[in-house]
A and B are shown apart, each in its own frame.
Chain A
Amino acid sequence: MTGARTLLISAFLGLALWQAVVMITGLPRFILPGPALVAETMWKSRALLAENALVTMTEVLIGLVLGTLLGAVSAIALAGSRTVRHLVRPLLVFSQAIPVFALAPILTLWFGYGLGSKIVMALIIIYFPVTSSFLDALLLPHHDWVGLARVMGASRARVMWHIRIPAALPGLASGLRLAAVYAPIGAIIGEWVGSSKGLGYLMLLANGRAKTDLMFAALVVLAVLTVLLHAAVGWGARTLLERR
């Protein structure tokens, strides 16, 4: 209960600080709208926000699922073969050196103006943290368990399936928690570069029309959804770990 209370208190403090800055500086509402105005806009534009939030969350969730599947499969393949690891690991790191922003226009060209390019964008942005943290956990030696398994006559594949993968699931879970925060960033970047729906699109549109309050409203919705997604993924991962 104390956790919830401190969360409320810190949220209240943040809002109070925001309101204080608005009142002290006297900035016009199209530069910095106060929390009260943003709340009012959120309520008035709830249908618009909900419709666009649904689009963004669809992109995020599909990207999250596909990115996790792809990342998990890659990590297992990399952990299973030293050759694959030596060949592919440098490529993985190199791919991380390319800013995702730079890829967005080309992805829009390849995967279209709709959901596809945003899903790919979310997928790309979470692929590395998922693969990397799962792989690191898969590569832990576990000498004693693996030795016992070898005396029992286990093949490498079965050691992987029965020992390495279950032992590495906490690593996958921490990659997933990161992914839950990163995936919305990918989707939003995709929407900025080219779209006609979604919270990213709405922010860009509101900004262009000096509807700063609406932009802030969309931003708050996105932030709250991201926090909820992070919490949901964390809960799901914990539940899975307990039942593995």
Chain B
Amino acid sequence: MGHGLDPVKDAPSLVLKGSAAFDGTPLFADLSFTAPGGCWTCLLGPSGVGKSTILRLLAGLAEGATFTGRMQAGDGGPLQGRIALMAQDDLLLPWLTVEANVTLGARLRGETPDRVRVGQVLEQVGLGDLAARRPSELSGGQRQRAALARTLMEDRAIVLLDEPFSALDARTRARMQELTAATLAGRTVLLVTHDPGEAARLGDKIVVMTEAGLHDLPPPPGAVPRPVGDPDTLTVQARLLEILRKDETCAPLTT
């Protein structure tokens, strides 16, 4: 896990306690969610259950949603300015080179990009030779690596990942999971996913979100990323899938 950057010191935990509604329709009520500092929390759930809303609320991007409750970093500090975001879509700007995309954050804040660091970060994700390319000239995996480089360049203590690997093929996905786990080590990472295997591989903490609410499930032993074939990881993966399926068939009908 050799990452050439200073690991983020004292990455804070993430706390979200409260209810959210969209146009008066409740999305969730009395939810209590915590992501411990400095490790990976996987929030697993089926589509449409509101797990992305939690991530968007934390990012300050849940437009139209009203949140009542407490949402902050565990150290009592604000969340704004301490978060980096990586989504399913790589969100690269097609008219910029890879390098310019990676330094977008600095330019958007009116800062001068640190050119030495860009080089290091691009090397770190294996895009050192492709810095001058346009996104359209990259493969899907390379584009997502550029998005990872942009996230790393932000150098934030908290990183929110919104299904960043779900559009990749199986081989690329496994590699990206390992690369992301290695490069984001030491930060507080919240990964929203619908893939039980991904949650079992990458979660230091695993939270399943279903219509019934949040359930914590003990993660498999071992540091993330866990090997794909690890028996304990596979067992947890199967258990997670069971929970997801059970809840789908036995979902309580507005009781």
Contact = CB atoms under 8 A, between A and B. Distances in A.
A147, A150, A159, A167 interface centre (most CB from chain B within 10 Å): A147
Interface in A131-164: 143-145, 147-155, 158-159, 162-163
B61 A154 contact: no
B25 to A, nearest CB: 20
Given A152-B109, A154-B108, A159-B108, A144 B60 contact: no
Interface residues of A, number: 20
Contacts of A149: 104, 108
B223 interface: no
Contacts of A154: 108-109
Given A151-B84, A153-B81, A162 B108 contact: yes
Interface of A: 143-145, 147-155, 158-159, 162-163, 166-167, 241, 244
Nearest to B86: A148
A144 B108 contact: no
Contacts of B59: 147, 151
Interface of B: 59-61, 63, 80-81, 83-85, 87, 89, 91, 93, 95, 104-105, 107-110, 154
A150 B87 contact: no
Given A145-B91, A162-B104, 6 more contacts: A151-B85, A152-B154, A153-B108, A162-B108, A163-B93, A166-B93
B201 to A, nearest CB: 26
A144 B154 contact: no
B241 to A, nearest CB: 30
Contacts of A148: 85, 87, 91
A155 B108 CA distance: 7
B87 A144 contact: yes
Interface of A: prevailing SS = helix
Contacts of B105: 152-153
Contacts of B108: 149, 152-154, 158-159, 162
A240 to B, nearest CB: 11
Nearest to A157: B110
B205 to A, nearest CB: 23
A154 B61 CA distance: 13
Contacts of A151: 59-61, 83-85
Nearest to B81: A153
A143, A148, A155, A241 interface centre (most CB from chain B within 10 Å): A148
A153 B85 CA distance: 12
B89 A144 contact: yes
A158 B84 CA distance: 18
Contacts of B60: 150-151
Contacts of A158: 107-110
Given A153-B105, A158-B108, A162-B107, A144 B84 contact: no
B16 to A, nearest CB: 16
A148 B153 CA distance: 14
29 contacts: A143-B63, A144-B87, A145-B93, A148-B85, A149-B104, A149-B108, A150-B61, A151-B59, A151-B60, A151-B61, A151-B84, A151-B85, A152-B108, A152-B109, A152-B154, A153-B80, A153-B108, A153-B109, A154-B108, A155-B110, A158-B110, A159-B108, A162-B104, A162-B108, A166-B95, A167-B93, A167-B95, A241-B95, A244-B95
A30 to B, nearest CB: 56
Contacts of A159: 108
A158 B107 CA distance: 8
